[in-house]
């Protein structure tokens, strides 16, 4: 069952001249996608791709120029209150009132989402996120790692059916980011939530998301599983270490066959298509160039990201 | 309409009110200082004057009534700005809270705070200057108060609507707007004291009728009810227009992506 369905969504912003409107800037360009129940969908793309604008539209903060948004089977604009009660949101660029304690902030949002027995639920969440000892501390006094967990508590306060997370780990150190990802995965499984997730951290997207939509200049340019997108990159990176006495000969061989490579010390990093790895190694063998060490890096989502971004520049 | 959501917003601002020194000053401190300064000034003028008319009563009445209008507008706008300062607007407007619930919560909160401010001012005026606000204006008080509250709310909602659409560049208006209204409201002088062009502006300001009637009560003990009805009628028109303007600007802000940018 589809929890969220977006059809032909377009958002244009006017670009103003000194006095009058000069032109339109298209932030989201006729995109359509769906999220199935229980799915974690990743939104990927460079800065300005249209990820945050799409999320703002899904939250009702920005009005679309064109298109249809159906959430929980209901048109969004006509059922805003009903839909938002079952959704929630967290983003790195959104804070909570800093002069309120954690408990007061969470109580406020629990009341806004009309959560029953909210005091108990707030305590449960704080315990799960291991920040119960901070409940009476002012929001202003918390570290960014602690805040990230508080924001997630706020986002989970109403046990949302659809959770939108816009770069929730962007300002966190790797350890806290990893912990946060584990929390998200655990809660998503427990509550059977559907999640729309944006991040610039490719490893994070690969770890969390069932499916990825790649946006660039407001358009969807690819949609697949994280590994499916990575497989669209046919080049592998092979790192070979040779004895110092052989580097000259290796360079001649690689130049003769027009391979792309980088040399660092006695390490060669060669880019070649996956099916041609055997041929490359055969050439070394024929030339009696024995390597001391070999590493083959398969393409990742990051390679796909970089390829697409560079091609579209 | 959800009582729980309205309650959530009221309690959220109450938390800040109890905790923040500057909010305490806005509700108690500055109005109290205002009263002290004007009280000393008017007491001095009274001593120098040969008139039997009580200048202290005249000025302090104006100060108390003016603070009601000022606080009604200022609190409304500052609470809105507080959400933007805290980067919390997105959280608020992406929750199920309706605009109508937001506005109702702001008005109720405003009333609660004003009760505290008015009590502080009237008790202080009585203790320091023997000015009894309640016996002076008697049963006219609610009719004068409601008109001042309504114009304060209309101005506050109007400013919030402008902030939604035009953002930080207009944030100064949250403090300045009442000082634009003050000269035309004739707080401390009669309308006739204004130049003719300014008198015309004061005629469309509901607050000017309230202050005229306040003085009429002090001078003669009489009140011209027509002026208060006129003030109330103008207030209703301005309140409806300001709410409609807020909805319109909210819609425009969503259309232009300004709501997110204000955050």
Cα(A41)–Cα(A177) distance, rounded to whole angstroms?
A: 18
* CA–CA dist A234, A272 (Å, integer): 8
Query: What are the φ/ψ torsions at residue B199 (nearest 5 degrees)?
Result: -60, -40
- CB contacts of B96 in chain A (<8 Å) are 80-82, 84-85, 112-114
Chain B interface includes A10 (CB < 8 A): no
Domain boundaries, chain A: 39-59+84-230, 235-311
Q: Specify the pLDDT at position B52.
A: 65
| Alpha helix (H) residue ranges in A157-267 | 174-191, 202-208, 226-230, 247-256
Query: Does A94 sit within 8 Å of B251, measured CB to CB?
Result: no
Please say if the pLDDT value at position A313 is more than 80: no
pLDDT at A264 over 80: yes
User: CA B254, CA A61: separation in Å to the nearest integer?
Assistant: 6
Strand (E) or helix (H) holding A269: strand A267-273
The 10s digit of each residue's pLDDT in B205-247 is: 999 999 999 999 988 888 899 999 999 999 999 999 999 999 9
- DSSP conformational letter for B28: I
CB burial readout A215-253, b (16+ within 10 A) else e: bbebbbebebebeebbeebebbbbbbebeeebbeebeeb
Report A:145-164 residues touching B (Cβ under 8 A). 154
Comparing CB atoms, the residue among B5, B82, B90 nearest residue A111 is B5
CB contact under 8 A, B5 and A112: yes
Instruction: Please report residues of B whose CB lies closer than 8 A to that of A82.
Output: 96
B19 contacts in chain A (CB < 8 Å):
99
The predicted model gives A249-262 an average pLDDT of 90
For domain A235-311, which architecture applies?
A: 2-Layer Sandwich (3.30)
Would you state the CATH architecture of domain A39-59+84-230? 3-Layer(aba) Sandwich (3.40)
What are the tens digits of pLDDT across the range A200-223?
888 888 888 899 998 888 999 888
**What's the pLDDT tens digit per position in A111-125?**
999 999 999 999 999
What are the domain boundaries of chain B?
Answer: 3-262
Q: Is A101 helix (H, G, I), strand (E, B) or coil?
A: strand
Q: Using the predicted structure, report yes or no on whether residue A229 has a pLDDT greater than 80.
A: no
pLDDT attached to residue B155: 94
The reply to whether residue B251 touches residue A97, judged by beta carbons under 8 angstroms, is no
CB atoms within 10 A of CB B52: 5
Q: Indicate if the alpha-carbon torsion angle B165, B168, B170, B176 is positive or negative.
A: positive
Q: Measured over all CA atoms, what is the biggest interatomic distance in chain A, rounded to whole angstroms?
A: 75
Q: Are B257 and A62 within 8 A, CB to CB?
A: yes
DSSP code, position B221: S
Residue of A108, A140, A166 to mutate, interface with B, max B Cβ within 10 Å? A108
Q: Which of A61, A81, A99 sits opposite B19 (nearest CB)?
A: A99
What does the pLDDT look like over A52-106, one tens digit per residue? Answer: 999 999 999 999 999 999 999 999 999 999 999 999 999 877 889 988 999 999 9
Q: Which residues of B touch A14 (CB under 8 A)?
A: 256
pLDDT(A233) > 80: no
Q: Helix crossing, B3-19 with B99-129: angle to 10°?
A: 40
Q: What are phi and psi of A74, to 5 degrees?
A: -120, 140
pLDDT at A275: 80
Residue A172 has pLDDT above 90, yes or no: no
What are the angstrom distances between the C-alpha of B61 and each of A183, A270, B75?
Answer: 60, 86, 21
Q: Give 10-residue mean pLDDT values along chain B (263 residues).
A: 93 88 82 88 82 79 91 89 87 94 94 90 90 89 93 94 87 86 91 93 94 89 90 96 96 90 75
Element (H, E) at A99: none
Q: Report the C-alpha gap between B102 and B198 in whole angstroms.
A: 35
pLDDT digits (tens, 9 = 90+) for A7-50: 999 999 988 777 776 788 899 999 999 999 989 999 988 888 89
What is this structure's pTM? 0.84
Which of A52, A61, A91 should we substitute to test contact with B (largest number of B Cβ atoms within 10 Å)?
A: A61
Q: Choose, out of B250, B257, B258, B263, the residue to mutate when testing the contact with A (most A CBs < 10 Å).
A: B257
């Amino acid at each position: 069952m589809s929890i969220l369905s977006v059809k032909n969504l377009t958002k244009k912003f006017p670009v103003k001249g000194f006095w009058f409107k000069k032109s339109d800037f298209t932030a989201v360009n006729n995109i359509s996608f769906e999220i199935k129940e229980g799915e974690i969908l990743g939104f990927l793309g460079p800065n300005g791709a249209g990820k945050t604008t799409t999320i703002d539209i899904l939250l009702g903060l920005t009005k679309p120029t064109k298109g249809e948004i159906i959430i929980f089977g209901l048109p969004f604009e006509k059922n805003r209150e009903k839909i938002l009660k079952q959704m929630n949101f967290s983003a790195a660029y959104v804070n909570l009132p800093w002069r309120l304690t954690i408990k007061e902030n969470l109580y406020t949002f629990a009341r806004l989402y009309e959560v029953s027995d909210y005091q108990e639920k707030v305590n449960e969440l704080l315990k799960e996120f291991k920040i119960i000892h901070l409940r009476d501390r002012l929001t202003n006094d918390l570290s960014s790692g602690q805040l990230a967990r508080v924001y997630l508590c706020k986002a989970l306060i109403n046990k949302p059916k659809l959770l939108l997370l816009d770069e929730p780990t962007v300002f966190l150190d790797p350890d806290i980011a990893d912990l946060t990802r584990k929390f998200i995965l655990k809660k998503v499984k427990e509550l059977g939530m559907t999640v729309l997730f944006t991040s610039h951290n490719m490893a994070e997207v690969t770890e969390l998301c069932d499916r990825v939509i790649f946006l660039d200049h407001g358009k969807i340019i690819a949609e697949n599983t994280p590994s499916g997108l990575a497989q669209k990159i046919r080049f592998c990176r092979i790192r070979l270490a040779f004895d110092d006495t052989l580097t000259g000969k290796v360079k001649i061989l690689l130049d003769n066959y027009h391979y792309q490579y980088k040399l660092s010390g006695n390490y060669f990093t060669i880019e070649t298509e996956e099916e041609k790895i055997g041929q490359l190694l055969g050439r070394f063998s024929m030339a009696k160039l024995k390597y001391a060490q070999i590493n083959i890096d398969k393409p990742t989502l990051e390679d796909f990201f970089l390829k697409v971004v560079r091609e579209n520049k | 309409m959800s009582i729980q959501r309205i309650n959530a917003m009221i309690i959220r601002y109450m938390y800040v009110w109890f905790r923040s020194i500057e909010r305490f000053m806005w509700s108690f401190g500055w109005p109290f200082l205002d009263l002290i300064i004007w009280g000393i000034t008017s007491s001095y003028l009274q001593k120098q004057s040969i008139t039997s008319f009580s200048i202290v009563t005249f000025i302090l009445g104006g100060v108390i009534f003016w603070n009601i209008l000022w606080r009604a507008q200022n609190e409304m706008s500052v609470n809105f700005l507080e959400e933007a300062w805290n980067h919390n607007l997105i959280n608020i407007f992406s929750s199920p809270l309706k605009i109508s619930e937001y506005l109702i919560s702001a008005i109720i909160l405003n009333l609660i705070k004003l009760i505290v401010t008015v009590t502080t001012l009237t008790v202080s005026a009585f203790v320091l200057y023997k000015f009894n606000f309640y016996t002076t204006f008697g049963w006219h008080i609610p009719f004068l108060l409601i008109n001042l509250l309504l114009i304060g709310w209309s101005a506050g909602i109007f400013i919030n609507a402008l902030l939604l659409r035009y953002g930080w560049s207009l944030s100064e208006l949250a403090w300045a707007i009442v000082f634009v209204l003050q000269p035309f409201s004739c707080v401390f002088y009669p309308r006739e004291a204004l130049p003719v062009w300014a008198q015309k502006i004061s005629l469309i300001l509901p607050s000017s009728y309230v202050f005229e009637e306040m003085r009429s009560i002090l001078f003669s003990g009489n009140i011209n009810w027509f002026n208060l009805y006129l003030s109330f009628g103008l207030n209703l028109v301005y309140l409806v227009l300001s709410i409609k303007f807020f909805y319109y600007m909210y819609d425009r802000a969503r259309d232009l992506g300004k709501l997110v940018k204000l955050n």
